[in-house]
Amino acid sequence: MGDAARRPDRVDSLPYPPELADVPDLDPSCLRVYAIPMTERFRGTTLREGVVLVGPRGWGDFCPFPEYGDDDAAAWLAAALEAAFLGWPPPARDVVPVNAIVAAVAPQRAHDLAVASGCRTAKVKVADDAGSLAADADRVAAVRDALGPAGHLRVDANGRWDVDTAVASLRVLDAAAGGLEYAEQPCATVAELAALRRRTHVPIAADESIRRSDDPVAVARARAADVLVIKCTPLGGVRRALDVAARVGEAAAEVDGGPGGAPGGTAELPVVVSSALETSVGLAAELALAGALPRLELACGVGTLALLAGDVVREPFRLVDGSLRVPTAPPVPDADALAATAQRDPGRERWWRDRVTRAHTALRRRLP
């Protein structure tokens, strides 16, 4: 049996870096609660909230979405603490290619966003509303026009389709795109993704089926995806995300090639690193993950700072020729930027500070 078969499959059973057990109670003066308006409605929100915190290695960003419980939030805190107290593994590359992010906007706005990004790959949000297929197709066609025939175009449905709807919708969107690179999480469950993959030629990428699942290896066992979308923040940091990517890849290689498979499985399931709408502080961890992967074949979804109308640093990460540089440490927040983005609602500030404490308690229950 290969290593993947011997190791635990569930995300909640993956070990955290043991050094996190040495992190002390966080000094309230080291926490800065932010609230940053978004430039476009995205993922149902117009305001991004979170906390940046500082430790001996730098800064971390704790920004689980409000609907997540304390156990889920514990992984997000682990990622922030890893950045602030431990640092990251060394990078294997200096730059990461990036895909533009196009929200569910009108076609001309979608075209303009794709052009302004300078990226050669774009991910377009679809299925934002019931009955949106015609508008989605118009948006996709506009982005194809912006990218030109050589560009790569992806769509993301956030699991909103059933299998039959996905088959029909992808047929329309693939035609509008002149060919899709892949469809990200078109259906909610692994079983649905596997069934859809048997009925469409459009490659399937798994996102929520990795980061919101207690058994991400199920995607590989079921042959449910062609691409893995990995976010280090909800997975508990760069080290844990690398572990998840390796184990899913190894399982996919064993399913397709027998015991042993391809080393690391990366040839079987390419990995796309994507952000979780973090500030530049949190995005640095996603870039560190993309930089540390053994192989990186596809553009990553880390161009999300364009969706934020502010940042906690003076100079946010900037795309250069459709790429971002891999940092060796998080950027340092700027005092003026922190003041400009500070949470103004005292009740929400208390809620976020209390949430850090609750998440830290939940995290400690999982540490040795």
Active centre residues (catalytic): 125, 231
Going by DSSP bridges, is the β-strand pair 45-55/31-42 parallel, antiparallel, or unpaired?
A: antiparallel
Cα 23 to Cα 50, 84, 193, 232, 285, distances in angstroms: 20, 10, 40, 20, 18
Instruction: Find out whether 287 and 91 touch, Cβ atoms under 8 Å.
Output: no
Q: Between β-strands 271-273 and 227-230, what pairing exists: parallel, antiparallel or unpaired? A: parallel
The SS3 of residue 224 is coil
Q: H or E stretch including 34?
A: strand 31-42
* Cβ-Cβ contacts under 8 Å for 329 (sequence gap 6 or more): 57, 58, 87, 284
- DSSP structural state of residue 16: P
Structure tokens at 271: 């990995």
Cβ contacts of 217 within 8 Å, gap of 6 or more: 4, 9, 247, 248, 251
